[in-house]
Structure 1
Amino acid sequence: MQYVSTRATSASASRNPQQFSDILLGGLAPDGGLYLPQEYPQVTGAELDAWRRLSYAELAYEILRKFATDIPDADLKALTAKTYTEQVYCNARGDESAAEITPLRTLEQSAGKTLILQALSNGPTLAFKDMAMQLLGNLFEYALAKNNDELNIFGATSGDTGSAAEYAMRGKRGIRVFMLSPHKKMSAFQTAQMFSLQDPNIFNIAVEGVFDDCQDMVKAVSNDLSFKARHKIGTVNSINWARVVAQVVYYFRGYLKATTSNDQKVSFTVPSGNFGNICAGHISRMMGLPIDKLVVATNENDVLDEFFRTGVYRVRKSAETFHTSSPSMDISKASNFERFVYDLVGRDADRVHALFRKVETHGGFDLSGAPGSDGDEFRLVGQYGFQSGKSTHVDRLDTIRMVADDYGIVIDTHTADGIKVAREHMAEGVPMIVLETALAAKFNETILEAIGTDAERPAGFGSIEELPQKFVVMPADVARMKAYIAEHTGL
């Protein structure tokens, strides 16, 4: 299995295909594109039948070995077995279903329509990001140990990626983490979860701006190839291919647990900001997983909903990005969207390069086919199963109350966005699976507003906001950020 950049034009610095291990520690390709397989591996019906009997760790091995073909099978099997254990993923809920790693719960079943919630927050930071990040930590440590090397991870978070990365990388030999987050724009729980870490290899930087400002700095540093090489910069954001492919596993797991035969299709609704999570669903569908619809659920920052309704991709400036009660989705420039666009335009790297140059110069592009637009590929979107919808703060409050009253569970704000949109796209005979984002405790301010009581907290998180916090506040200044990294890496 080899990988190419979405911008691998004839003049590109990334036109030569790479192996999985070659791109594991990095993020952007040297030409600024994102890596994808030259072709998606295919899954047979016989394989799906066999995989129904596997544990989560065994399933992860079977899927990942199709992508990481240059890692010896025995090593990959050991890495997945080390990662996906009950000890790592079953501490959050404390119930028997957590042993499934990503248990399913049927919320409603009527008139031939079924709504299912797939739990993804059993990991150490109580969010779906743990599902991939714990594997990434072990993969990074494995790769660095083979070469006696070190890595400085430089990433950005709107809330959950940062803590998941830091908990996965804390104490790892040869790894430092520099994590950017928008200053005072995460929940109190999310902020404390990150900033309370005192490990010497963890550096938290609160940026005066929004998430997109943080993400822009990560891309700017990644595009400075000499600085990146000299300071051994890697990333754990979902621009990192290994992050995305690790998320493919729980789509297969959800499908296999929700169905009894491969003749049945399911749909997935995914709360979406940076398009990484639902991009894994797109990849799963391209591999042959019987997915009917992939429903993108956005909050008030509805760039993706606008595209999937109209064909117009229009990024918002920082001042136009709303600070909402589902803050992990407060993103107006979806990095992983480029991976889907690459497939949508027939894997034409020249076209992708031109379109995303237009994002930089004109703030977006138009594939609707209207006069003066950049193309008419929007007509093909339906072939990939995508639909979309939007949820607001009032919708979130209503959905949290409804789910608590009707089903007896308290969901987080992002999952509420997902359930609200999912209910608008349910179809008879096709189960709709909503991917959970996090435990409700991480967003207690809104839970309290919605239902009048605090969200239950897992053991060990009772007073996390009272712990001492270690972080620095910096402006959105790339030069100052580089100087900070250089000062603390000693390279």
Structure 2
Amino acid sequence: MRYLSTRAASSDAASSKSFCDILLGGLAPDGGLYLPESYPQVTRAELDAWRGLSYADLAFAVLSKFIDDIPADDLKALVKRTYTAETYAYVRGGGDAAEITPLRWLEPGLGILELSNGPTLAFKDMAMQLLGALFEYVLAKRGEEINILGATSGDTGSAAEYAMRGKKGVRVFMLSPAGRMSDFQRAQMYSLQDENIHNIAVRGTFDDAQDIVKAVSNDAGFKAKYRIGAVNSINWARVVAQIVYYFKGYFAATQSNDEKVAFAVPSGNFGNICAGHIARQMGLPIARLVLATNENDVLDEFFHSGAYRPRSAADTHATSSPSMDISKASNFERFVYDLVGRDPAVVRKLWAEVDAGRGFDLAATDYFARIPGFGFVSGSSTHANRLATIRDTFEQYGVVVDPHTADGLKVAAEFREAGVPMIVLETAQPAKFEATIFEAFGRLPERPRALVGIEQLPQRVETLDVDVQAVKDFVARHVEA
């Protein structure tokens, strides 16, 4: 299995790389994102054989399609150590921790795939815990170290830090938008005292933080000197790990592989739903991929109009589903690469416009007409919608959902189809967003005992302006210390 940049010529064999080569780097040198030269296909016989597998065994089967430069026994051991009932022990309502991602039916044909039973109570743990294990393994084999530079709108940061804390050969520098996350999210990150974890609050939006990460990654000299790597969803390993739970959710929702399902996915950076797109391209019987946005509806606008218009920081709304307060979806480039027939020249042209602060419009092109063939539909949700959905879901089903999952449920309701189960991917546990839950129906959600009072713990964070050089100086100072 070889990987190419979305901006490199597919015939350029010299530019293709193995999984381990791209694991540590994030962005390709040309600024593009890595994807397999072609998507591996899953046969009906394989689907039949995979249906009864445990999560860890299913993960090994799926990942083996994409990773052939880690010995099979080593990869299986890594996966087994990652996906354990002990790691994913925060199960609500008497669920089975051994399931890792239990499917909770709300009513016939409508279910929530629980992805937030990991240590930071967010779906990001599903991929990040594996990424931490992979990093430590590859770095040890190569005798190298890495300095991870990332940006978070809420959940990626804590998931990355919990996955990497104490890992040999790894330092984490995580940027977050100052004042734009929930108190719980800030406390999860900033209260960590591990020496290899460094938090930087940026006086701006998530997009500002993400732009800084990209700018540093595009400085080849700095990146090489300070061994800069990435754990954001631009990292291919994050995406490939998320493919696994689409298969797990499909098997949980169906009796046979003749059936189809739909997945509704709250989406900001397009990484989670990109994994669903790839699972569908592999042959998983997905009827629809329902993309749900909040008031920052750049992606919803594209799927309705063909226009991709990233907003400025001033025009990016601070909402009650803050992990989706994103107006430049990093992983969207991966989908567009497939949409335009994997033509890197087209991608380069389109992202030259994006990088110049403009955007592009495919409405009058054949590309836009291809979207239905990829199974995508979309919708958006507002603060009022979230409150109503949280309240209604509790009143009807006795289930409390977080604001992002509420966005997914609201948009999912617009696209339900008789005979096709609709699976909403859970984003986080409601304990991470107590203020919004309380506003919805006047009571606080339960939180795991180990996390009670986390906001009162001492916090360690540096606040910086939106300044690429200031971040570079911070990284250099701590690496060289």
- Report matched runs for 1:61-460 at 5 Å: 61-93=60-92, 95-109=94-108, 114-369=109-364, 375-460=365-450
* Identical counterparts, % of pairs: 65
What is the aligned partner in structure 1 of residue 52 from structure 2? Answer: 53
Which amino acid is the alignment partner of residue 93 of structure 1?
R
Deviation at 1:169, TM superposition (A): 0.3
More deviation, 156-165/354-363: 354-363
Structure 1 residues 210-260: Cα deviation after superposition (integer angstroms, max 9, x where no partner): 000000011001101111011000010000000000000000000011111
Deviation at 1:10, TM superposition (A): 8.6
Which amino acid is the alignment partner of residue 17 of structure 2?
Q
When the two chains are superposed, the root-mean-square deviation of aligned CA atoms in Å is 1.3
Contiguous gaps of at least 5 residues in structure 2: none
Structure 1 residues 7-46: Cα deviation after superposition (integer angstroms, max 9, x where no partner): 004999x961100010011110000000000000000111
Distance between the aligned counterparts of 1:446 and 1:98, measured in 2? 27
Distance between the aligned counterparts of 1:363 and 1:284, measured in 2? 31
Which amino acid is the alignment partner of residue 69 of structure 2?
D
What is the aligned partner in structure 2 of residue 7 from structure 1? Answer: 7
Deviation at 1:362, TM superposition (A): 4.7
Deviation at 1:360, TM superposition (A): 1.8
Distance between the aligned counterparts of 1:429 and 1:377, measured in 2? 30
Q: Secondary structure at 2:153's aligned position in 1?
A: coil
Going from structure 1 to structure 2, the CA distance change for 1:453 and 1:167 (only over 3 Å counts) comes to same
Q: 2:477 aligns with which of 475, 487, 491?
A: 487
Q: Secondary structure at 2:194's aligned position in 1?
A: coil
Which amino acid is the alignment partner of residue 175 of structure 1?
V
| Contact persistence 2:90–2:121 (CA under 8 A) | no
Count of aligned positions: 481
TM-score (norm 2): 0.98
| Contact persistence 1:297–1:390 (CA under 8 A) | yes
TM-score (norm 1): 0.96
Contiguous gaps of at least 5 residues in structure 1: 370-374
| Contact persistence 1:5–1:15 (CA under 8 A) | no
Q: Secondary structure at 1:267's aligned position in 2?
A: strand
Distance between the aligned counterparts of 1:140 and 1:362, measured in 2? 34
Structure 1 residues 104-143: Cα deviation after superposition (integer angstroms, max 9, x where no partner): 011122xxxx111000000000000000000000000000
| Contact persistence 2:290–2:377 (CA under 8 A) | yes
Going from structure 1 to structure 2, the CA distance change for 1:94 and 1:78 (only over 3 Å counts) comes to farther
Deviation at 1:376, TM superposition (A): 3.4
Distance between the aligned counterparts of 2:346 and 2:262, measured in 1? 30
Q: Secondary structure at 1:446's aligned position in 2?
A: helix
Which amino acid is the alignment partner of residue 51 of structure 2?
R
| Contact persistence 2:309–2:358 (CA under 8 A) | yes
Structure 1 residues 292-348: Cα deviation after superposition (integer angstroms, max 9, x where no partner): 000100000000000001111000000000000000000000000000000000000
Q: Secondary structure at 1:383's aligned position in 2?
A: helix
